Structure 1
Amino acid sequence: MSQAPLANGKMAPKPVLAAALAHFRTAFTAIGLISGAINILALTGSFFMLQVYDRVLPSRSIPTLLALALLAGTLFLFQGILELIRSRLLGRIGLALDRRLSGQVYSALLLAPLRARSSGDGLQPLRDLDQVRSFMSSVGPTALFDLPWVPLYLAICFLFHFWIGVAALAGAILLCGLTLLTELRTREPTRLAGNHAASRNAFAEASRRNAEVVHAMGFGERIAERWSAINREYLDAQARASDVTGALGTASRVLRLALQSGVLGIGAYLVIHQEASGGIMIAGSIILSRALAPIELSIAHWKGFVSARQSWGRLKSLLAAFPANEVSVALPQPGSALTVDGISVTPPGERRLVVHDISFMLTKGAGLAIIGPSASGKSSLARALAGVWQPAAGHVRLDGASLDQWDPAERGKHVGYLPQDVQLFDGTIAENIARFETNPPARKIIDAAKAAGVHGLIVGMREGYDTRVGESGSALSSGQRQRIALARALYDNPFLVVLDEPNSNLDADGEAALTEAIKGIRTRGGIAVVVAHRPSALAALDQILVLANGRAQAFGAKDEVMGAMSRPKTGHAPPLKIVPSTEAAGAS
């Protein structure tokens, strides 16, 4: 990647989009040269007409006419070939730009909801990339490459006659004014249309996800009314943007036709007064049309240009906020301790702390239960431990290295995470358990399934491990999804396994399998952290962290903490004791 020098002498990477464009510098140069050749060849029709009127007709020479026609036909053929090459090049650049950026855009799309509150359905970056690619493949960019050649046509008009040049220049100025007006009038409507489109897509996706609830409780008509209102706002915004570009585009076409006829009239006047020939009269009108065509084409495609520019700006901001993670030193596999140093946690995009200054340490083989009332910060703490959310303060460390020192892909090999809201990807059970690893060993998949106690359930299905789970795991029951997600968390024996309400959808057999899975993690020297509401989830754990209002109320050996919590609450009863982390670590 290209770099620029910093004040300290180091090299800073060039922004992703700037580097992507720089990659196609040669292609854009080629398109510029091709555009120059196309614009020169576009003079063929005008000069053919000029020669026919001024040379062929007076001489009545058929051979001259045939020679001119053959030459013009050849030049038209070359012009067509070059225009085809130019359009193909622009289309290929759009596709190559998409391929080059799509991976980083997708990675940023995955990280965005973990860093900031997302608006809409969260898929706007992909639509922005589609918008940029579509614009690159349209006729719009060709107008931008043709615009620099407008002065050439105006100069030729002045060479024909001063007044023909003045008319052409006046027309170009008027159309440039319309282009500027188009820019000013379409910017805000296009932005609003984009915002309404994002809201519309988000509501449609939410409706699809909640289809069962809507149908069961019969409020589909009311949801449909709200959808109609949102859709109406979107269509109104689209209509306003289209009305502006349509009106100004029509004005530009009418003006160009009027100017073309006006130049024809001026040419006729000059011919009558013998200040110009008939060929100049016709050729001047054609060249004027060619001179103004790129400006008119720009106006006609200005809405697409503005949309692409806004999409490009959003992509630039997105990729700047989520630069590619570069870790120069690969850390060794952790296997000793999990240390939490005074972390505080805020939800993405908020400043409100939901976890306050939590510190503790767990050594290998430890099992910690995080308990507390609803909204006490349990799931938020679990997300921070798993590296899903970045702490607002403090650090989570594996063997002394904070999580942000790890490459995410490498760190993920050592972390298993089961979220409260279980989601699977459309694919086979084996693919989901293996985290979609390329060519995973079957032994690892089966070992993870056995560790989660779900191997028998899987092989009892008609297609076994090759059973497709459907979108979000829709082909499975909630309990099956949770147990397969547990196997995914246990895949390849990660050192740290964080389970958030892992038994919320489990029956008695599932809970027994969960208990054995937690025991297995501890027996092999891993660390298990379990967010629990049901007492059954505590069976295989030896330590407890009690949270209330985001703050630690107690931390220590399970029996001691549970005993303190079970004592009758009297006015003389001492509060729960928060055991120092060094004592708790020794209890494991």
Structure 2
Amino acid sequence: MTSTSLRSRAAHGLGPILMSFRREFIAVGLFSGVANLLMLTPTIYMLQVYDRVLVSHSELTLLAVSLIAVFMLALMAFTEWVRSRVLVRIGLRLDQQLGGRVFAAGFNASLATTEQTPARAAADMLQVRQFITGQGVFAFFDAPWIPVYLAVAFILHPVLGFVALAFACVQVLLAWLGHQRTAEPTQQATRAATDANMYLQGKLRHVETLEAMGMLGGLRRRWQERHAVAVGRHSAAQDLVQKVAAASKFVRYTQQSLTLAAGAMLVIAGDLTPGAMIAANLLVARALAPIDAIVTNWREFVLARSAYGRLRALLEAHPEAASQGGRAAPQGAYQVRKLVAAAPGRAAPILKGIDLDIPAGHMVAVVGPSGSGKSTLARCLIGVWPDAQGELLLDGAPLSGWSRADLGPFIGYVPQDVELFEGTIAENIARMGEPDSPQVIAAARATGLHEDILRLPRGYDTAIGDSGGVLSAGQRQRLALARALYGDPPIVVLDEPNASLDEAGERALVQALQELRRRRRTIVLVTHRHPAVQLADLVVVLQDGKVAAMGKPPALAAPGTAVPPAAPAGGTPQPA
């Protein structure tokens, strides 16, 4: 990867977004500075009470000092509230600026992986935002003021300063050792818990099959194995965290006692006043409080840092695509040269050097045995297959030059496994956008689904879930076809659109294809069944990831026609 591309990716990363909040973070730092200066109030107040008020027995001095102390403490509380509000607003603005980009990047990444990347990316963003707006981050803003408190302790007496410095070094060492011991186990526990949850969520989508075929026991056993690993790693990580926390608590309590003891010795020697002894104890405790807070919140810091790293890598790997709004609709002419498509876990590629020309406004039927690469070719043509190499041109320009937001409205696609989304029927047909009623009805009529929808209790406003439970399998497939036809896109790719259709659905599909041909739309039809193939201008036969034959439909589309053998290595596909 070139340095220019690296800089381009970095410009779209997470760091620049956080840097855009530098003024807010500077404001938080300034308020933290004021708050930490005001936290010296109890120390100074105690010095005044013990060394001045108790000696002079002046009630007026006590009143004046107390009023000043109350005012300073109120001002300290106000500054702490303000910095909390600023961090909360940073979290809200970060979510507004980053939420859409994280979702889009996670969605794009999910095309290349089996993990539920959008959900994990959203969880990572939530982890980062919660840490930024939580109490743990204040420790990092307060930590730079530790030297100030130590300096004040040295001013009171060098012995007190050295005692405070010694305990500060012990706690810093403890924090470093805690990081070394807990960072990796905590990350392993998080990964194991995520793996177990994602496994369960993925399998419970098929709960009907699990219940009907008695597979729940096997699923539970496999989940329990993953869950046991997650619980074990979480317990091990928590044991380490608790050990570090216990050691930190021991150091804190020991520091309070030994600081008081050192002050008492200085008082006995006549080198320190009793007021300074009590004040020094509070001062040293305050000086070490940020370190203790860092140790206490270290686990949240480690989780937030891991989430930040994953988000940064995700955004750099999948930068926000620049919209090229205003581009003319494509005509639909495809040129495919030496197309190779691979998949993770497979040694051999699925598609092995496909060469294909699809003129604009033509209908191409892709047939062949199962596993020959038909669905993969369809996904390559719409630009969603992650690992494709070769030349894939749309209207003479690389398909990769289109952003998904720009190309999507010009493509109608029916996948082999129909996926519907939570919403109304109208919203599903309108691709989850704002439904255009005339276009929604036109798409439903084109698939013969209009009358079926009107018979539902709320018609087009009938709500359906992800599985489309209120619809039959054939109706779901026709609804997916209506979604593909919504907006009259110039390119329509149909992957087994008739797999669940009855006779009426077949007729509706054929009529829809005829209408698309009349409008000169580019159609790619992947199918095992032959009636609709008769409408095609060209039939492409795939076998073992290669073009075995291509030609006009009469010879290849007739029922019972055998698929010609694949061309020999180095040869040309056999004509129909």
Q: Calculate the TM-score normalised by the size of structure 1.
A: 0.92
How far off is 1:180 after superposition?
0.1
Aligned to 2:329, the other structure's residue is in SS state coil
Q: Contact 2:412–2:491 (CA<8 Å) still a contact in 1? A: yes
Mapped partners of 1:160, 1:472: distance in 2: 72
- Asked if 1:316 is matched to 2:312, the reply is yes
Match of 1:255 among 234, 237, 251: 251
The code of the aligned residue for 2:73 comes to F
Across the two proteins, how many residue pairs are aligned to each other? 569
1:246 aligns with 2:242: yes
Give 1:389's aligned residue: 385
Aligned match of 2:513: 518
Which of 68, 85, 88 is equivalent to 2:85? Answer: 88
The 2-side partners of 1:390 and 1:245 are apart by: 41
1:154 paired residue number: 150
Cα deviation for residue 562 of structure 1 reads 4.5
Counterpart position of 1:573: none
Q: Aligned partner of 1:190: which letter? A: T
Q: In 1, are the aligned partners of 2:109 and 2:117 still within 8 Å (CA)? A: no
| 1:275 to 2:271 alignment | yes
Amino acid at match of 2:216: G
Aligned equivalent of 1:237, options 205, 225, 233 = 233
Choose 463-472 or 260-269, whichever is displaced more.
463-472
Inter-CA distance 492–271: structure 2 relative to 1 (3 Å threshold): same
Q: Residue type matched to 1:158 in 2?
A: F
| Map of 2:55 onto structure 1 | 58
Pick one of 73, 82, 91 that aligns with 1:76: 73
Structure 1: gaps of 5 or more residues: 1-5, 571-575
Asked if structure 1 preserves the Cα contact closer than 8 Å seen for 2:38 and 2:72, the reply is yes
For the residue of structure 1 that corresponds to 2:463, the secondary structure is coil
Tell me how far apart the structure 2 counterparts of residues 514 and 489 of structure 1 sit (CA, whole Å): 12
| Structure 1 counterpart SS, 2:500 | coil
The one-letter code of the counterpart of 1:93 is I
Partner of 1:399 in structure 2? 395
Does structure 1 residue 358 correspond to structure 2 residue 357? Answer: no
In 1, Cα distance between the equivalents of 2:339 and 2:564? 30
Q: Deviations over 1:104-130 (max 9, x none)?
A: 11001111122x323367621111111
Q: Which residue of 2 aligns with 1:471?
A: 466
1 CA distance for matches of 2:12 and 2:436? 39
Change (3 A) 1:569 1:110: closer
Q: Summarize the alignment of residues 167-186 of structure 1 with structure 2, pairs less than 5 Å apart.
A: 167-186=163-182
Structural RMSD (CA): 2.4
Shift, 1:159, TM fit: 0.7
Matches within 5 A, 1:365-380: 365-380=361-376
Give SS of 1:389's match. Answer: coil
Equivalent residues in 2 for 1:181-580 (5 A)?
181-328=177-324, 330-335=326-331, 337-347=333-343, 352-390=348-386, 392-438=388-434, 440-562=435-557, 566=561, 578=573
Contact 2:185 2:237 in 1 (8 A): yes
Report the CA distance shift for 1:162/1:109 in structure 2 as closer, same or farther (over 3 A): same
The 1:130–1:14 alpha-carbon spacing in structure 2 relative to 1, beyond 3 Å, is: same
- Cα distance in 2 for partners of 1:288, 1:185 equals 27
- Comparing 327-336 with 382-391, greater Cα deviation is found at 327-336
Counterpart residue identity of residue 74, structure 1:
F
Q: What are the residue-to-residue correspondences of 1:104-115 with 2, within 5 Å?
A: 104-114=101-111
Which of 253-262 and 346-355 deviates more? 346-355
**Which range is displaced more, 74-83 or 299-308?**
74-83
What is the alpha-carbon distance in structure 2 between the residues aligned to residue 128 and residue 484 of structure 1? 35
Contact 1:113 1:348 in 2 (8 A): no
Residues 1:103 and 2:67 are matched in the alignment: no
What percent identity do the matched residue pairs reach? 41
After TM superposition, give the deviation of residue 190 of structure 1 in Å. 1.2
CA offset at residue 480 of structure 1? 1.2
Query: Given the superposition, is the C-alpha separation of residues 569 and 459 from structure 1 closer, same or farther in structure 2, using an over 3 Å criterion?
Result: closer
Kept in 1, the 8 Å contact 2:29–2:141? The answer is yes
Deviations 1:292-345 (A, max 9, x none): 000000000000000000000000111111011125575322226232233211
User: C-alpha separation between the residues in 1 aligned to 2:299 and 2:470?
Assistant: 43
| 1:241–1:303 Cα contact (<8 Å) kept | no
SS at structure 2 position matched to 1:188: helix
Aligned 8 A contact 1:121 1:201 in 2: no
Cα pair distance change 1:160/1:578, threshold 3 Å: same
Q: 1:437 offset after TM fit, Å?
A: 2.4
The superposition leaves residues 152-201 of structure 1 with CA deviations (integer Å, 9 ceiling, x where unpaired) of 01111111111111100000000000000111011111111121122111
Q: How far, CA to CA, are the matches of 1:499 and 1:299 in structure 2?
A: 57
- 1:556·1:578 contact (CA, 8 Å) conserved in 2? no
Structure 1 residue matching 2:62: 3-state secondary structure: helix
SS at match of 1:472: coil
* Distance (Å, rounded) in 1 between the aligned partners of 2:562 and 2:278: 104
Matched letter for residue 322 of structure 1 = H
The offset of 1:359, in angstroms, is 1.7
C-alpha separation in 2, matches of 1:329 and 1:413: 12
1:393 to 1:446, Cα distance in 2 relative to 1, 3 A: same
Query: Which segment is superposed worse, 528-537 or 305-314?
Result: 528-537
- Between 553-562 and 345-354, report the one with greater CA deviation: 345-354
**Which residue of structure 2 lines up, in the alignment, with residue 140 of structure 1?**
136
Q: Deviations over 1:259-280 (max 9, x none)?
A: 1111111111111111110111
Deviates more, 1:337-346 or 1:60-69: 337-346
1:22 pairs, out of 15, 19, 25, with 19
Q: State the secondary structure of the residue aligned to 2:364.
A: strand
1:460 CA displacement: 2.0
- Per-residue deviation, 1:13: 6.2
Shift of 1:555: 1.2
Separation of aligned partners in 2, 1:251 and 1:352: 55
Contact 2:549 2:573 in 1 (8 A): yes
Distance (Å, rounded) in 2 between the aligned partners of 1:568 and 1:374: 12
Whole-angstrom CA distance in 1 between matches of 2:301 and 2:513: 56
* In 2, Cα distance between equivalents of 1:568 and 1:467: 44
1-side partners of 2:332 and 2:132: how far apart? 53
Give the whole-Å Cα distance in 1 for the aligned partners of 2:8 and 2:195: 41
Q: Which 4+ residue blocks in structure 1 deviate beyond 6 angstroms?
A: 10-13, 567-570
In structure 2, the CA distance between the partners of 1:103 and 1:349, relative to structure 1 (3 Å rule), is: farther
Matched letter for residue 154 of structure 1: L
Alignment-derived partner of residue 3 in structure 1: none
Q: Partner of 2:568 in structure 1?
A: none
Change (3 A) 1:279 1:91: same
1:126 aligns to what? 122
CA displacement at 1:541 relative to structure 2: 2.2
| Aligned residue type for 1:66 | L
- Code of the residue aligned with 1:441 in structure 2: it is D
**250-259 or 127-136: which moved more?**
250-259
Task: Provide the rounded CA distance (Å) in 2 between the counterparts of 1:84 and 1:246.
Answer: 30
SS in 2 for 1:471: coil
Farther off after superposition, 279-288 or 394-403: 394-403
Alignment partners' CA distance in 2, 1:222 and 1:351: 29
Provide the C-alpha distance between the structure 2 equivalents of 1:484 and 1:437, rounded to a whole number of angstroms.
15
Secondary structure of 2:270's partner?
Answer: coil
The answer to whether the 8 Å contact 2:324/2:406 transfers is no
Indicate how the Cα distance of structure 1 residues 469 and 204 shifts in structure 2: closer, same or farther if over 3 A, else same. same
| SS of aligned partner of 1:374 | coil
C-alpha distance 19-369 of structure 1, shift in aligned 2 (>3 A): same
* SS across alignment from 2:549: strand
